[in-house]
Chains A and B, each alone.
Chain A
Amino acid sequence: MTSSTIAITRPAHAPSMTLLAWGGLALAGGLLLPWFRTGRDLASFVAGTTGIELLGSEPAVAAALVCALLSAILGMLKLPLYRRGQLALVTAAAGCTLVVLALVGHGQPMGPAPVVVFLGFLSLVGVGLSLSGYLRADAFIAASIVWVAVFVVLFILYPLWAVLQASVVVKGRLTLEVFGTVFQSPNFLMINNPYTPRDEIRIAVTFGAVVAAVSGLVAAVLARKLRPVVVWAAGSGIAGLLISALYLGFGAVRNSVLLALVVGVASTGLGFLFALLAERSQLPTRRLLGPISILPIITPPFVLGLAMVYLFGRQGFVTHSVLGMSTTVFSGLLGLSIAQILAYTPIAFLLLQGVVRAMDVALEEASETLGASNWYTLRTVIWPLARPGIANAFLLTVIESLADFGNPVVIGGGKPYLATEVFYAIIGRYNPNEAAVFGVVLLSMTLTIFLIQRYWVGERFYVTVTGRPTHATPRKLPRALDYAVTGVFLVWVLLIVLLYGSIFVGSVTKLWGFDYTFTLAHVKGLSPSGWYVFRTTASLSLIAALPSTALGFLIGYLVTRYSFPGRRALEFSSMLSFAVPGTVMGIGYILAFNQGTLLLTGTELIIIMAFVFRNMPVAIRSGVAAIHQIDRSLEECSTMLRAGSLTTLRRVVAPLVQAALLSGLVFAFVRAMTAVSQVIFLVTPRVNLSTALILSYVEHGSMGRAAALSSVLVVFMAVVIMIMYSVTTRIDARAGRGAQAKP
């Protein structure tokens, strides 16, 4: 019995089951399933388009199926493994090309057959790469890499390419016309408004000059050297010029940039203060920070905007009912920036917590060295350490603010913003080229910031934060500062409570601002269409959560554990969604999947795909973090015990990242439920989503219903998150018990 297992020297020419299986699958799928659809409907079965029927009329289809057959046969030929791999690679690559040719040549929307055949060939390419030894990985890993790469190209890079293309190609002609028109339109950017009596440019220049003179003078007094005087005068002069020009100017660029700067500075500042509070306050209020930092995750981004309208709008509860004013001052940049600051402060807070923890160490070290004044310590020790983290938080909140779509729609006061112009250009003005130009401008801004964040700040940021031991007894805040910051925090909490409260109350109030009697009419009014849309949203989000988490963790695993050509490119492009504003991705999907063989618009599938690839980067991040926790030798050991990589993933890696997987799944679900910008273009009356429905309620003035549906969403997600936390805590506790019992 036992001795039979020693000499597992596999015969060199044993049939290769993987080749046989994938080749067979591609062949069967290609023969039996329909290759084309006539309309949008994914399930439509068009007679006469199965592979069997097309064999005679479509040479490309026939050739592709021959390739599939050849691959299957290869699996049984008596050839050395590497030779078999090389041949499989060639036939499968030819097969892929033929499928593409068949689809492009025909131009009709594709049916299920090409999907099956193409994915079959992709797997065969992977198997070929592995067997031939071109890639040092087993067939599963190699095929995964190929699959993932194709998906990323198709659903991230191709839509972006479509946006770029639409911005410079009009009716098949390469032109910069659209850019020209958009750049000259007052909607885009106007520094000097001819309809105002003042000359904005002159004012800005004057202001810049004054700032330059003042700061130059200050620098001269302090430094008494030429260089700092020139640097400070020039730097602050230019900054003053730009800021005042922005402040006085008009247009989407001005509005978005000004908003992003204000929100970035304020959120980062507040986030930093709250991080101080969380790490070093002596007051019990700091415990509120944890739960409150979850709020933005479970809230659709525009709900705070909606609440702002309730409280501070023309008929706002505070402004109108309490103070008796009728003001629109909060509808526009001011209200919008407040809503965004409230929404993004928790993000900055989470990013800055680690920075404050590291700072603590520096403080202690600094205070132990003799004689350094507080100011000097702050400048030379604390600031350099905190700077990269603060820059990081600032840049990320700026990206969020620039990309935000929901809030500007709800309380933007009808002014243009980059993210909303993309939408209105295509939905209101039916001009995809103009939308694309706005998209490209917005994208180039966020992408630049993303690149700065990633390659300049990001790396330093990680160097300072990771690897530092957390101190058991961090230095406490001075009492006065503690109370002051806690005061700010409590105001913030009060505002948040008021805002959320107004949404909840608003959903059971007859007519907000006029008639505050209790009613269940809005909640009842959700049925049937509101509930139906809610169910659709939940089920699509659930369907999307699984692949987006699985794909994210798989990519995280591949890029941390394997090296292969194009690894960095894969990592970069799959993380790109962090930098791509939702509206840009949305219009990309519209442009890419609205016609031809890739027609997907109007189906559930395109929304699922949008969810999957939008939320994948978050899963990648948590996947990478979780996998870094696992000692690599566990996987190597499993490999040496004859497990293939799929078995290792299933039996060793998955059980060890269970908790992270679960929370990744839940967050992917929740993010999909709250998503707005990337899917706003993709919804149809048939396939609608809660967030889009809320926005359309707002648009049609059904504020009560909007509030009711928002409340349902928020409560539902709070429950989901709470259940998840209790489950993951249990998983962690179980894992912890095993690890603690060390003798």
Chain B
Amino acid sequence: MAVPATQLKQVLHQAASPVRFERVTKRFGTVMAVDDVTLKVPAGNLVTLLGPSGCGKTTALRMIAGLEWPTEGRVYIGDEDVTPLPAANRSVTMVFQAYALFPHLTVFENIAYGLRVMRRPHEEIRHRVGEAMSLVGLPGLERRAPAQLSGGQQQRVALARALVMQPKVLLFDEPLSNLDAKLRKRVRADIRMLQQDLGITSIYVTHDQSEALAISDIVVVMNQGRIEQIGTPTDLYRRPASRFVADFIGEANLLPAVVEDGTVRVGSYRFPYRQPGVATGAATLMVRPESVQVGVGGEGLPGRVQTAFFMGTYADYLIETEAGEVSVADPRSVDGIYPMGTEVRLLFSPTALYLLPPGA
């Protein structure tokens, strides 16, 4: 990114505040958009709200912004209970899904908008807008109209406009959904780098799990207005708290298993596996496709190859077993795949297994 704008950076770093949801519920008529959510976002972190469309992510974000009000519960920014405060008094800014750039104002005036509303002196406005623009890397575009910018540039204008206000919290609502796939990867890396550089508290809404895993300190998985799980990206991937999370984050085989003392049995395949805190009895075992080895003969869960595709860096199998269908992404079969109908044995590498909590 461009020339560091140290002063703004410092200020932003100081401003960064934690955000807290205290048993927040939001109903629209009979629709439960957000259902009894309690959540802590540490200062300086980037936290993602992840979930399928309609699960209440945007509504949760808008309650932090002050654009929507909780039906029950309180919202805190820093130590302050902001629940009764209108959006204008919260020191929170947002990058909107379609950027919401004012079409009748130039890039400069867009970024300066909030400062003009606050009636800051001209000199200060020029200085601060300049700082913000160089921070996001937008040199020389001051006089352009928003419609004359590319999608990526528009996004950066929206970001600069949000940063120039020196917010305590920065909100993003699916900021990449209007970019094409290639640009998306780059912009999300930019956002992450800038966020870490500035140390600003950011809350980021997306329905794209790979985006969430890539940029977050903490991911909050939501489903039907409730929180399914909160954790780091690795946590969620390795140790999903529910079937929903296991399925939503990456691909997962969920197999019926029986836990015995020090071993786990799936179908007729028994192997040593320990997971603290799991009682003996019936359980659900999560096996990621990439942690299954396919072999012929010997130990393992017996099965028959149903479909087999050569994918370049790995082989993609669907294998019928006594415990149900197992999907496999085997990187070792590059030099030869087992054809359809082959009787095979599946081995699970114990480091990538996880027993879901009962009832999950």
A620-644: CB near B (< 8 Å → 1, else 0) gives: 0000000000010110111111111
Asked if A466 is an interface residue, CB under 8 A from chain B, the answer is no
B1-14: CB near A (< 8 Å → 1, else 0) gives: 00000011001001
B65-102: CB near A (< 8 Å → 1, else 0) gives: 11101000000000010001011111111101110101
Are the CB atoms of A1 and B124 closer together than 8 Å?
yes
Asked if A444 is an interface residue, CB under 8 A from chain B, the answer is no
Interface hub of A3, A640, A740, A743 (most chain B Cβ within 10 A): A640
Interface hub of A5, A8, A637 (most chain B Cβ within 10 A): A637
Q: How far, in whole Å, are A641 and B103 apart by their CA atoms in the complex?
A: 16
Q: How far, in whole Å, are A631 and B114 apart by their CA atoms in the complex?
A: 19
Q: How far, in whole Å, are A8 and B14 apart by their CA atoms in the complex?
A: 14
* A4 CB → nearest B CB, Å: 10
Which of B145-153, B189-197, B208-216, B244-252 forms contacts with chain A?
A: B145-153
Which of B86, B98, B103 has a CB less than 8 Å from the CB of A738? B103
Name the residue of chain B whose CB is nearest to the CB of A10.
Answer: B89
A642: which B residues are within 8 A, CB to CB? 88-89, 114, 117-118, 165
* B159 CB → nearest A CB, Å: 13
* A135 CB → nearest B CB, Å: 12
Which of A1, A634, A640 has a CB less than 8 Å from the CB of B67? A640
B89: which A residues are within 8 A, CB to CB? 10, 642
Are the CB atoms of A138 and B96 closer together than 8 Å?
no
Are the CB atoms of A740 and B147 closer together than 8 Å?
yes
Which of B98, B113, B165 has a CB less than 8 Å from the CB of A638? B113
A638: which B residues are within 8 A, CB to CB? 102, 113, 117
Are the CB atoms of B96 and A637 closer together than 8 Å?
yes
* A13 CB → nearest B CB, Å: 15
* A408 CB → nearest B CB, Å: 48
Q: How far, in whole Å, are A743 and B141 apart by their CA atoms in the complex?
A: 14
B180-204: CB near A (< 8 Å → 1, else 0) gives: 0000000000000000000000000
Interface residue count for B (Cβ, 8 Å)?
Answer: 42
Q: How far, in whole Å, are A636 and B92 apart by their CA atoms in the complex?
A: 12
Question: Which residues of A638-657 have CB atoms within 8 Å of chain B's CB atoms?
Answer: 638-644, 647, 651-652, 655-656
Q: How far, in whole Å, are A638 and B145 apart by their CA atoms in the complex?
A: 17
B124: which A residues are within 8 A, CB to CB? 1-2
* B336 CB → nearest A CB, Å: 48
Q: How far, in whole Å, are A741 and B149 apart by their CA atoms in the complex?
A: 8
Are the CB atoms of B117 and A643 closer together than 8 Å?
yes
Which of B91, B103, B113, B149 has a CB less than 8 Å from the CB of A656? B103
Q: How far, in whole Å, are A112 and B124 apart by their CA atoms in the complex?
A: 45
Name the residue of chain B whose CB is nearest to the CB of A639.
Answer: B87
Q: How far, in whole Å, are A8 and B117 apart by their CA atoms in the complex?
A: 14
Q: How far, in whole Å, are A6 and B167 apart by their CA atoms in the complex?
A: 8
Name the residue of chain A whose CB is nearest to the CB of B7.
Answer: A2
Are the CB atoms of A6 and B166 closer together than 8 Å?
yes
Which of A1, A3, A652, A742 has a CB less than 8 Å from the CB of B102? A652
Are the CB atoms of B11 and A3 closer together than 8 Å?
yes
Asked if B15 is an interface residue, CB under 8 A from chain A, the answer is yes
Asked if B226 is an interface residue, CB under 8 A from chain A, the answer is no
Name the residue of chain B whose CB is nearest to the CB of A82.
Answer: B84
Question: Which residues of B128-166 have CB atoms within 8 Å of chain A's CB atoms?
Answer: 128, 145, 147-150, 161, 165-166
* B31 CB → nearest A CB, Å: 15
Asked if A429 is an interface residue, CB under 8 A from chain B, the answer is no
Which of A2, A637, A741 has a CB less than 8 Å from the CB of B145? A741
Asked if A133 is an interface residue, CB under 8 A from chain B, the answer is yes
Which of A138, A631, A640, A740 has a CB less than 8 Å from the CB of B65? A640
Are the CB atoms of A634 and B100 closer together than 8 Å?
yes
Q: Given A739-B103, A741-B148, A742-B148, does the pair A641, B114 have CB atoms closer than 8 Å?
A: yes
Which of A644, A651, A655, A656 has a CB less than 8 Å from the CB of B88? A644
A57: which B residues are within 8 A, CB to CB? none
Which of B87, B117, B161, B166 has a CB less than 8 Å from the CB of A636? B87
B86: which A residues are within 8 A, CB to CB? 138, 639
Which of B84, B93, B149 has a CB less than 8 Å from the CB of A640? B93
Are the CB atoms of A637 and B100 closer together than 8 Å?
yes
A504-522: CB near B (< 8 Å → 1, else 0) gives: 0000000000000000000
Interface hub of A133, A136, A138, A641 (most chain B Cβ within 10 A): A641
Q: How far, in whole Å, are A82 and B85 apart by their CA atoms in the complex?
A: 11
Which of A2, A138, A651, A742 has a CB less than 8 Å from the CB of B166? A2
Are the CB atoms of A640 and B166 closer together than 8 Å?
no
Asked if A196 is an interface residue, CB under 8 A from chain B, the answer is no
Which of B66, B97, B114, B120 has a CB less than 8 Å from the CB of A633? B97
Are the CB atoms of A743 and B166 closer together than 8 Å?
no
B100: which A residues are within 8 A, CB to CB? 631, 633-634, 636-637
Which of A5, A637, A643 has a CB less than 8 Å from the CB of B94? A637
Are the CB atoms of B147 and A634 closer together than 8 Å?
no
A643: which B residues are within 8 A, CB to CB? 88, 113-114, 117
B37-55: CB near A (< 8 Å → 1, else 0) gives: 0000000000000000000
* B123 CB → nearest A CB, Å: 9
Name the residue of chain B whose CB is nearest to the CB of A635.
Answer: B100
Question: Which residues of A1-59 have CB atoms within 8 Å of chain B's CB atoms?
Answer: 1-3, 5-6, 8-10
Q: How far, in whole Å, are A202 and B150 apart by their CA atoms in the complex?
A: 79
Pick the 10 closest A-B CB pairs, nearest first.
Answer: A641-B114, A633-B100, A637-B100, A741-B148, A643-B117, A738-B145, A633-B96, A655-B104, A642-B88, A639-B87
Interface residues of A (CB under 8 A from B): 1-3, 5-6, 8-10, 82, 133, 136, 138, 631, 633-634, 636-644, 647, 651-652, 655-656, 735, 738-743
22 residue pairs of the A-B complex, CB under 8 angstroms, read A2-B7, A2-B8, A2-B11, A5-B120, A133-B84, A138-B88, A633-B97, A633-B100, A637-B94, A638-B102, A638-B117, A639-B86, A639-B87, A641-B113, A641-B117, A642-B88, A642-B117, A644-B88, A652-B102, A656-B103, A735-B103, A739-B147
Interface residues of B (CB under 8 A from A): 7-8, 11, 14-15, 65-67, 69, 80, 84, 86-94, 96-98, 100, 102-104, 113-114, 117-118, 120, 124, 128, 145, 147-150, 161, 165-166
